[in-house]
Chain A
């Protein structure tokens, strides 16, 4: 599913942000990636989402070695991943329905072919009643649930979440975690970057990956 071997990354002449990072993510697994602020969690996630290339080492995503990917392959791989951001990153000029449907729309699918799917998913995350509203009038919890629905709609094999509970209260954080666990149970491999230890304690079966000073430790 995902594999990193002796991966290093540096920006310009600065010291390495990531050093000798090695780990695997198995299909249908759930793991938390944690560490102090500035440890490199977001950088690591950006590398996995193919937004950054490693300066050394080998990254393999969904069976493809990143260094050998062509542009078309990158697009195809991104369509097999779902990404959730701390700041939601919804498009304010689209309705919630359109935001959630976005991954299917950019694949060129007709709206009629996914309407029922998107409606069902919005109901599942509790947003059926606000499907035609725009994100700028919704609460942080609603936005994050919409972002999760968007990450899930294309049935991704790998779900990456970067501090998904960073902007919501503890009650909503638990609800969002439950959604991520549901995604895992539905068959996706899930990697959640967070520095919220309380959140990690709520799901014991998850593996913990701890990133500190650019190095990664794995706790099975």
Chain B
């Protein structure tokens, strides 16, 4: 397998005519076909990708000219199916594309394939995919993390220079950490959600998975900004994210106490402590900081998220598109059977929890209370960032676990998200940067930044990479 050069170099070579976009797409398709055993990819967009590449070769232009990429299969794309790895969307062909895809295409990037995920992004391992389980490129008996597990594995398997993921409770950062990729969860609203199958609308964000922070900065730069089609998007203050000049000296770093306590795998702990030492040597002022409500973030997440999931999945009713039960005798049966047969166990579990917490009489006790705690978490972050430039900690208590290890116990699976959900609840940007190995398994360092400081965070991540 051949490695990809930096994305800006690749685009420059396509523009100068040194390499052809068609060749890059073919290289990408070959890597996909050579690595089928990892089950990272649901479908390729070969026809459309080669057509676009041929077009681009005629007149190469754009910051991502001819650069192939892979989108998680919950991004709506033309030229193939968009299934969100779910049975209920198995036949669905999107008539429009996600804004993020449109923006990347406008700069010359080419979407070559759709990556596996936990169906509807519900999960932390891709084991909830209605298709297949993606294998960790470092150890085929282990999960790549999830839900953007296919995207993360694809990047490490060099199927494309970058891939797109979505992060609702850690779904970009966790797989990035498990496979050793850079995974960016931008500030909420940084990238338009239009055309991305919604999971939990108030925490869903879109971000890149790459090999380096520099590549991630370029991709995020292209995708970010206000979008008329998504009212929750925010204005981008900086002209560009690609200037990553940064110096750790004098920077104030808070190590999140609640993430470094018992339960943390010794290998992971060693990698994170080693990273902290590197930051200190680089001149950063490191201190422990406590955000006492963080341990509640997971409980809050598993109320707010299923509530929104149960609502967002209502539209999959078998009446207009997607899977529709053939044997239904009347409307009610059509609803029941289409949803019973179309949704997997995890989607059903979340629909049930969400329906319960939104029911009259329970709303105040669950949803309202969860939102109150959510506000508390936001306030604690904001207070911490009045003292610190960044907060750091692990992404997950353990490195990649064995396939099947946690599938029998949903609660155990949910605990994987314990260190990532808080940033989704608060909206802060966070990133997973490869920090070392626990045994032979990658471990990511989580850097959480103040609201809207995506650029600073990427610069810090690049500077961390440079510390070696």
- Chain A bound to chain B: no
Which residues of chain B have a CB within 8 Å of any CB of chain A?
none
